[in-house]
Amino acid sequence: MADTTQFDLVSPERRLASAQVVSVQIPGADGDMTAMAGHAPTITTLRPGVLSTEGPDGKSEYVVTGGFAEITAAGVTVLAERAMPRAEVTSEHIAELVKEAEEALNNAKSTFVNEPGPVDDAAKLLADMVAVGDHIRV
């Protein structure tokens, strides 16, 4: 078995995971990345997506909506805005997340007239939420 590293996933509501894992696939805002034992220290923001781990106990997947991941010599810590095990995500959850993203986009369009940055960010959030639903097929 390959070297393992400590993985912790925490959301404001609860600690979702704390385990030794071989790898953590992170949906980073600047692109997906895989962290393993010995990875260079890194901090990245998360985009909405599926975070997955592989370890001695098998594979685990979690839907995250954003937050931060910190990779250190001690392991990988993910502080998620919202997170839940993929198996618990329903079509109603995805519909709610998409609705919130649509509202954020409409608010950005009315608040930031002729300021593309915030509107583009809100449009990207909406696209990411739709993509999460497509990816997990709920």
The domain segmentation of the chain, as residue ranges, is: 5-86, 89-136
Residue 29's closest CA among 84, 76, 68?
68
pLDDT single digits (tens) 44-68: 999 999 999 999 989 999 999 999 9
pLDDT single digits (tens) 65-121: 999 999 999 999 999 999 999 999 888 888 888 888 888 888 888 888 877 788 888
Would you tell me which CATH number, out of the four given (2.60.15.10, 3.40.50.20, 2.40.40.20, 3.30.470.10), belongs to the domain 5-86?
Answer: 2.60.15.10
Q: The tokens of 67 are what?
A: 């937050």
Q: From the CA atom positions of the chain, what is the Rg in Å?
A: 16
- Give this prediction's pTM: 0.83
Residue 135's closest CA among 41, 36, 55, 25?
25
